Structure 1
């Protein structure tokens, strides 16, 4: 039996792996950070005896000190034999140790916190998108590890057109965010989709599919190469600590913004929801009306969305100005929302086999395009 994390977004430390029924593991910390929760590793089994393999029991023994321990409650890890189709496996948490089990059907199996979105797939996404006549692939600069900060500009400027920004994976372990973006882009570039065509007549989109490529490749949960939580860097980013945010902000100043969506995943809450910028100084009744309308539209579009559960709203003037949605909403006085999806399942429409998944995230991204379509005329 062999266990490895020596690949894109891999993260695990083997403590003991001599007995399939008692595999002891630990999750590694993000570099220069106390954050950890993302795991992703490959298990190569011993040859099957009599055509059967024993049940493998994996214990993540430092789960009780992870960044968001409430994320382990009612959570199930995901596994895959082909790295394409991911399914949930029986998982328990006793307050200290996360334990999941599987009797492998094949010689090699991958496990992860959520369906991974590889850097190679990211490259495929942005380079296939640029093949559309409506899309330009721009490189804003480089990260600390020397990777491209890729931006997709979709649509052409014109008089009266709105400017809409989407960013995803400020927190690299929240891979559902880039699955969402993949679905959004796929539909936006569909020449046969009437919603997409109508939107591109009214708006220009600027999309950053992966705000944190270094953290993504390194197998981080929440931070970049030097331990910076990018979603706390928006007030005063720097090229030395948070070039990802610095470069994106500079482009935002150049384009202006009429609507902003920042795509994330939440470890604890088993629902899809929005978080606004109610506590920023510039927030007013017009802002509230835009927020309320967008939520009403989404509730009408998809049963995957709800507005009963979510984060507590900030009191007036008390919002954290270093958070992306707060900074953008205040700076550009525009509709700005954080989109949150679950690592677990969506309680409203549970699926025992896959839970909330890469495919469902992508489909939600496609649904959000309809929501943007119904909002675009109201933005300014």
Structure 2
């Protein structure tokens, strides 16, 4: 039996390979107490069963995320299915029954760095796309912005950023689906939007954390979604560079794509607690949510985060900063790590395919919201 995580986004430590179950531990993000993301490969004998135990699960960033959680698994790194797991408040236990000699196991289906680069290369081949490198991360990776549409002629500007928290890989699966639909010449919804709207898309806000196998932070240990009020090139260049571009360009809608460890639903969080929140903010939010419910059975508005009280928003959060700075619609879209309890999938749970489909369904709420701006 052999276990390794020495690859892109890999994260696990073998504590005791001779124990039964085999004892594993998730590494913390660099310079941070955050951890929950895992991704590793197990190699063994076909037909054998391998009981595994993550011994530090109970002290992870979001212990509630392990409740009713099922592990993502794949033999070919293309098709991912779920393995049942048990959480007792301290450890996460699951058993791998090997049908092939080697299997990959992860907190959610990974979105590899090579796939990110392939997405950028594919997108830039479209006549409507401009690729721009805004600068570099602390590990020297590019921060890339895709501009989709005619910026000079557009009436509206929509921003979409994803994966501030690198372990939330569903966010980049969402962006991939969004770009594929937006650049589909046969998609009337996309063509209608692009007639008067330009999209500014950052598919991966945290390249370093993604490759390092972090849950929530960048190379310096900074939680990027708490850096928006005062970012710096020394600690959070990712936010500094994107924020600088936002201030230069402006925008009408700001969408920040995330995943939630504990809640098995798709929902949005708004900026109701920012200073100066008004009826216009509320109208735009309700328009967006109402249209999204109409467009997608996977989206709902009954479950989500508690609302901030007036004037008590955390202004270091991207959505709050954008909503206040630009006085317009700013939303955080959250997808589940587990499954969507409204429409559960017993084989795959919430999956890359469902992320991509939800992205295709977001065209209607964007269009309806732009109508009332």
Question: How does the TM-score come out when normalised to structure 1?
Answer: 0.97
Partner of 1:33: 32
Residues 319, 331 of structure 2: 8 Å contact kept: yes
1:132 pairs, out of 126, 133, 148, with 126
Residues 153, 196 of structure 2: 8 Å contact kept: no
* Partner Cα separation in structure 2 for residue 283 and residue 123 of structure 1: 38
* Partner Cα separation in structure 2 for residue 306 and residue 16 of structure 1: 43
Partner of 1:54: 48
Partner of 2:116: 122
Partner of 1:331: 325
**Cα deviation, residue 372, structure 1:** 1.1
* Unmatched 5+ stretches in structure 2: none
Aligned partner of residue 74 in structure 1, secondary structure: coil
Partner of 1:23: 22
**Cα deviation, residue 208, structure 1:** 0.2
Residues 11-160 of structure 1 aligned to structure 2 (within 5 Å): 11-18=11-18, 21-46=20-45, 48=46, 53-159=47-153
**Cα deviation, residue 160, structure 1:** 5.9
Which range moved further: 306-315 or 159-168? 159-168
In the alignment of these two chains, the number of paired residues is 373
Residues 91, 100 of structure 1: 8 Å contact kept: yes
Residues 81, 108 of structure 1: 8 Å contact kept: yes
Aligned partner of residue 361 in structure 2, secondary structure: helix
1:261 pairs, out of 240, 252, 255, with 255
* Partner Cα separation in structure 1 for residue 40 and residue 152 of structure 2: 48
* Partner Cα separation in structure 2 for residue 54 and residue 158 of structure 1: 61
Partner of 1:230: 224
2:164 pairs, out of 144, 166, 170, with 170
**Cα deviation, residue 25, structure 1:** 0.1
* Unmatched 5+ stretches in structure 1: none
* Partner Cα separation in structure 1 for residue 191 and residue 261 of structure 2: 35
* Partner Cα separation in structure 1 for residue 328 and residue 249 of structure 2: 13
Partner of 2:283: 289
Task: Give a deviation string over 1:47-93, Cα, whole Å, max 9, x none.
Answer: x4xxxx22111100000100000000010011000000000001000
Residues 90, 102 of structure 1: 8 Å contact kept: no
Task: Give a deviation string over 1:10-34, Cα, whole Å, max 9, x none.
Answer: 0000011135x42110000000000
Residues 26, 35 of structure 2: 8 Å contact kept: yes
Question: How does the TM-score come out when normalised to structure 2?
Answer: 0.99
Residues 159-308 of structure 1 aligned to structure 2 (within 5 Å): 159=153, 161-308=155-302
2:372 pairs, out of 364, 374, 378, with 378
- Where does structure 1 differ by over 6 angstroms across 4 or more consecutive aligned residues? none
Residues 287, 365 of structure 2: 8 Å contact kept: no
Residues 164, 225 of structure 2: 8 Å contact kept: yes
**Cα deviation, residue 255, structure 1:** 0.7
**Cα deviation, residue 369, structure 1:** 1.9
Aligned partner of residue 90 in structure 1, secondary structure: strand
**Cα deviation, residue 158, structure 1:** 4.1
* Partner Cα separation in structure 1 for residue 364 and residue 3 of structure 2: 43
* Partner Cα separation in structure 2 for residue 134 and residue 327 of structure 1: 29
Residues 262, 337 of structure 1: 8 Å contact kept: yes
* Partner Cα separation in structure 1 for residue 213 and residue 335 of structure 2: 20
